[in-house]
Homo-oligomer: A and B are copies of this chain.
Amino acid sequence: MGKKSENRELPIALRAAYLSLHRNSDAVFAEFGVTADQFVLLATLSKGVALTQRELANRMNSDPSTVRAMLVLLERSGLVERKSHPTDSRARMVSLTPQGKKTFQSLWIAGEPIRNKMVDKLSTTELAQLIALLNRIAFALNQ
């Protein structure tokens, strides 16, 4: 069966593509003192309103204690801040500082060549297919 035999290749191909993306990102963001994973956190915050640490962890597919460790580092470098939640005094609202927003803009521009390199050789249709397939896999794995 074709399917069975290629079953083995998918995890390897997925890993190779992700690691390449991760390494390229780390290399490009290093001059800003930011890691690829920290970029993801900043990008998540950049989308809009402040989030609780738990919401942030959920959206990043990460763990609350992992996110906390990252936030401590990012707070230390002045890119994020944590304020008390208006109604739930257990929670803390995380948001980008002005410097964090500025840095993120630079990071976004610096990362553009990577994003372009990924998609330049793909047609519009292929890109949409790829995203859809990846989302289906992630969904299936989380069931």
The CA of A14 and the CA of B19, in the complex, are separated in Å by 10
Given A16-B135, A20-B141, A118-B11 contact (CB < 8 Å): yes
Check A17 against B137 for contact (C-beta < 8 Å): yes
Given A3-B124, A3-B127, A128-B2, A118-B21 contact (CB < 8 Å): no
Check B127 against A6 for contact (C-beta < 8 Å): yes
Say yes or no for A30: interface residue by CB 8 A criterion: no
Apart from A6-B131, A10-B131, A117-B141, what are 9 other A-B pairs with CB-CB below 8 Å? A2-B124, A8-B115, A10-B134, A13-B131, A14-B18, A17-B138, A21-B137, A114-B141, A122-B137
Given A14-B17, A15-B18, A129-B129, A3-B135 contact (CB < 8 Å): no
A92-131 interface (Cβ within 8 A of B): 114-122, 124, 126-131
Say yes or no for A133: interface residue by CB 8 A criterion: yes
Q: How many copies of the polypeptide does the oligomer hold?
A: 2
A-B contact pairs, 6 of them (CB 8 A): A3-B119, A3-B127, A7-B116, A11-B118, A118-B140, A133-B133
Contacts of A10 in B (CB 8 A): 115, 118-119, 127, 130-131, 134
